[in-house]
Amino acid sequence: MAFVTASLKQANWIRRWAVAACAVLAIWATGCGHKEERADLVIMNGAEPESLDPTIVTGQPDGRVAGALFEGLTRFNPKNAKPIPGLAERWDISEDGQTYTFHLRPNIVWSTGEPITADDVVYSWRRALDPLTASDYAGQLYYIKNGENFNTGKTNAATGNRYVKEDVGVEAIDPRTVKVLLEGPTPFFLDLCAFRTLAIVPRQAIEKHGDRWLMERPMPTSGPYTLEFWRIHDRIRVRKNPRYWDAANIQNELIDLLPAESANTALNLYLSGEADVIWDKNLVPSELMDVLKGRPYVHTYDYLGTYFVRFNITRKPFDDVRVRKALSLVLDKKRIVERITRSGEKIATCLTPPGMEGYTSPEGLGYDPEQARKLLAEAGYPGGKGFPTFNYLFNTSEMHKQVAVELQEMWKKELGINMELRQTEWKVYLSSQSQLDYDTTRSSWIGDYVDPNTFLDMFMSGNGNNRTGWKNPKYDDLIRQANQERDPVKRAKILYDAEVLLVREDPPIAPLFFYIGVNIFDPAKVEGVHQNLLDEHPLWPLKRKDGRTAAKAAAAK
């Protein structure tokens, strides 16, 4: 009975939020001095993007838009997120798995009409590896011959010279053929070709306009959409690219992607009919999940995502593994998923989520406050005495704040140490992590492809997504060995041993839970949204089933 009463109260809150949202939107609309073309679909996309350059984006909100504008040699199947032909219509793979020959589609062009050629592919991948580009995801191209050597500025022992871009194993055989040499057999290489970092970008615009190339109009795009405009703190509008090779299957003329860091705001806009889709779990009020899970427009699913804490081991006292283990061992993860997230998340002691065929992760550190206190005392902080006050960095989100408060309480109660909350907006949060400007920080990782390597290789010493300062040569060697090993059973064992180092023996992180995906949309109105392990939702298959389109709305006027 108590549950029913609570659910009814929550339902009433939802209705009140919708009414309030309508009032706010009416005021906003009154203040606008002009009518604007209506989009076919309006999507709540998450935080304001850091950039739309696919080579440097790191977050999901950024990547969704960049993925609509720029395409790679392959693209993600919207149903299962497996790689399918993109700008390349087919490819050949050598018997040893180390040479790929891609054949581009005939007559593919930029949205501005110029041909897309093999030289554009070579330029795009070398640009991603160029240290001056400062791509955190450059490691995605380390599987290419000399990719890592060029990106990290290593010297060729045979010549005594540094590796240069021409040494990278990607070349244009002719205008429609790209040959790629890999360091070793890479079973997920075609998946990487669908990832944002390897998307094909317009050399002609970048060399002409430099860092301002994204601001020029028209901006050449290689993907299914063009950028109509990007109004900060308002919306990003994309328009169908009529020159895209698969334009016939793009279901919408105009799509608006709205930024929102408040779950209440996102839900308000959806319930008031101003938004058609909400992508992120972070944009759904966690306190309402008990009642929302029963609604037909709420869709939950498992995917490859892990929520965890990073430690900055370049700062004391987090350079001491005993301290890091102590902080991990007092985290009551069950309390977090039951009190805060409330969507059925599973607690995590490892980084790699379940669901990848042929790999089972090791058990990491569990819940053991007594052992944690012993380790902290051994590190010189008995009962927390002398332990400096430290900060916990997280980006704006009610759920992240709630998790931070729980961690703060656990560390204080069990270890006697003080943590201060440091909340920032998305761009500052990402920048602070990259610059190691934090003590501890909330983090999450969504798999880029269905292989444990997508979680494990980012903690290699030179990876731009490491963001902890942690360097473990043994770990680096194991990851390299694994990705040279062709026997899947042996490879899985090597990756397992590496993850033991990461989550049990020398942890720079503390895993909390595995995500449950949440999409909000009405299947009676919107189709083409498919739940999959990578949480990949391309825009081009999305379609309104009620027939409303921008073209029809314009004609009605």
pLDDT in tens, the chain (557 residues): 332 333 333 443 343 334 334 333 433 333 344 467 889 999 999 999 989 999 999 988 999 999 999 999 999 999 999 999 999 999 999 999 999 999 999 999 999 999 999 999 999 999 999 999 999 999 999 999 999 999 999 999 999 999 999 999 999 999 999 999 999 999 899 999 999 999 999 999 999 999 999 999 999 999 999 999 999 999 999 999 999 999 999 999 999 999 998 899 999 999 999 999 998 888 888 888 888 988 999 999 999 999 999 999 999 999 999 999 999 999 999 999 999 998 899 999 999 999 898 999 999 999 999 999 999 999 999 999 999 999 999 998 889 999 999 999 999 999 999 999 999 999 999 999 999 999 999 999 999 999 999 999 999 998 999 999 999 999 999 999 998 898 999 999 999 999 999 999 999 999 999 999 999 999 999 999 999 999 999 999 999 887 665 555 555 44
pLDDT tens across 435-469, in order? 999 999 999 999 999 999 999 999 999 899 999 99
Q: Which domains are assigned to the chain?
A: 2-45+236-297+548-556 (3.40.190), 71-215 (3.90.76.10), 301-516 (3.10.105.10)
CA 28/CA 44 separation, integer angstroms: 17
73 and 121 in contact (C-beta within 8 Å)? yes
pLDDT in the model for residue 16: 37
Neighbour-count burial of 150, counting CB atoms closer than 10 A to its CB (0-12 exposed, 13-18 middle, 19+ buried):
buried
- Tokens describing residue 125: 């991948």
Amino acid of residue 551: A
Non-local CB neighbours of 220 within 8 Å, separated by 6+ positions: 110, 111, 112, 114, 202, 204, 205
Say if residues 104 and 120 touch (Cβ distance below 8 Å): no
As beta bridge partners, residue 397 has none
Is-contact 115 175, C-beta < 8 A? yes
pLDDT in tens, 30-89: 334 446 788 999 999 999 998 999 999 998 899 999 999 999 999 999 999 999 999 999
Helix boundaries (H) for 210-303: 263-271, 289-292
Indicate the pTM of the whole model: 0.85
Rounded CA separation 339/222 (Å): 44
| Opening angle at CA 430, ends 429 and 432, nearest 5 | 65
Q: Which long-range contacts link 62-67 to residues 24+ away (Cβ below 8 Å)? A: 63/196, 64/257, 64/279, 64/537, 64/539, 65/236, 65/238, 65/257, 66/196, 66/199, 67/196, 67/199, 67/223, 67/538, 67/539
Nearest to 353 by CA among 397, 405, 302, 420: 302
CA 380, 381, 383, 386 torsion-angle sign: positive
Residue 522: what pLDDT? 96
Question: Residue 109 contacts by C-beta under 8 Å, 6 or more apart in sequence?
Answer: 115, 116, 243
Q: Alpha-carbon torsion 325, 327, 330, 331, what sign?
A: negative
Please give the structure tokens belonging to residue 108.
Answer: 């593919």
Residue 260 tokens, joined = 């929102």
Tokens of 97: 């798995």
Q: Which two tokens stand for residue 383?
A: 């009962």
Which ranges of 303-450 does DSSP label H, i.e. alpha helix? 321-329, 333-336, 369-378, 398-415, 426-434
- Write the DSSP symbol of residue 106: T
Cβ contacts of 107 within 8 Å, gap of 6 or more: 115, 245
d(CA 311, CA 158): 39
Nearest one of 384, 374, 372 to 416, comparing CA atoms? 384
pLDDT value for 506: 98
Closest CA to 104 of 77, 82, 67, 72: 72
The three-class DSSP label of residue 109 is strand
Determine which helix (DSSP H) or strand (DSSP E) holds 118, and give its type and residue range: helix 118-129
Q: Do residues 202 and 74 touch, judged by C-beta distance below 8 A? A: no
- Distance CA(54)–CA(137), nearest Å, equals 10
Q: What does the buried/exposed string (b/e) look like for 263-292 if buried means 16 or more CB atoms within 10 Å of the residue's CB?
A: bbbbbbbbbbebbbbbbbbbbbbbbbbebb
Q: What share of the chain is helix, strand, coil (3-state, %, to 5)?
A: 40, 20, 40
The count of other CB atoms within 10 Å of the CB of residue 25 is 15
Give the N- to C-terminal CA distance of the chain in Å, as an integer.
Answer: 51
Across the strands, what pairs with 419?
A: 390
Strand partners, 309: 442, 510
The SS3 assignment for 529 reads coil
